[in-house]
Amino acid sequence: MRRFALLLVALLSAGTVRADSTVEIHFSPVENLEKIDIALISRATTTIDMAAYVLSDWAVIDALGAAEQRGVAVRILLDASQHHAYEKLTNLADNIRVKRSNVFMHLKSYAIDGELLRAGAANLSASGLKHQDNELLIIKDPTAVQAFSARFEAMWTNAKPIYEHDRAVSGMEPK
């Protein structure tokens, strides 16, 4: 398992394994990945940048809202092709953008405080986090976090605010 983790870090960080790197891997359905995501989001103190192909898990959305209430700067990037829990996201609408292009934004990742990266196959949905065979990776590697942050920033810059997304779908209006 340790060799797999080191190999994974090496691949994620373009061949550079740092002494301060660690990787945890978790699997559903034997583990409840929703609880892991909530715990990670709850530890954020400054920033959460999330790229979510699907964001429909209510407990994760509630944790994001609580983080914002604590003063954490939350930014969420969604894929336009998927169904999200828009009715639960209204309080976070000012922090949400939608990637609209012919290229799916298939990430299920977020960075916390510029120090930790959550990645893996598990969509941020109840089924993806609790019922399907999926993995969730917690990566504490500065190079990997910086690489995700750079890609997130590029997609965020080119994405449209949720208000400009199909209002019939999201039902959201500017505050």
Three-class SS of 69-123: HCCCEEEEEEECCCCCCHHHHHHHHHHEEEECCCCCCCCEEEEECCCEEEEECCC
Stretch among 70-74, 122-126, 165-169 having the lowest mean pLDDT:
165-169
Give pLDDT, residue 166.
54
Residue 175 included in any domain: no
**What percent of the chain shows pLDDT beyond 90?**
66
| SS3 (DSSP) at 19 | coil
Q: Does any domain span residue 125? A: yes
pLDDT of residue 14: 44
From the number of C-beta atoms within 10 Å of its C-beta (0-12, 13-18, 19+), residue 135 rates as middle
Cα 113 versus chain centre, distance: 13
Q: Supply the CATH number for residue 135's domain.
A: 3.30.870.10
Quick one: pLDDT at residue 16?
Answer: 47
Residue 32 within a domain: yes
**Could you tell me the pTM of the whole model?**
0.83
Question: What phi, psi does 32 have (nearest 5°)?
Answer: -90, 100
As to burial, measured by CB atoms within 10 angstroms (0-12 exposed, 13-18 middle, 19+ buried), residue 154 is exposed
Within-domain flag for 100: yes
Question: Phi and psi at residue 170, in whole multiples of 5°?
Answer: -85, -30
Give me the number of domains the chain comprises.
1
Q: Which residues pair with 140 in a beta bridge?
A: 22
Query: Could you tell me the residue range of the domain that residue 128 belongs to?
Result: 2-170
Give the integer Cα–Cα distance in Å for 135 and 129.
9
pLDDT in tens, 36-64: 999 999 999 999 999 999 999 999 999 99
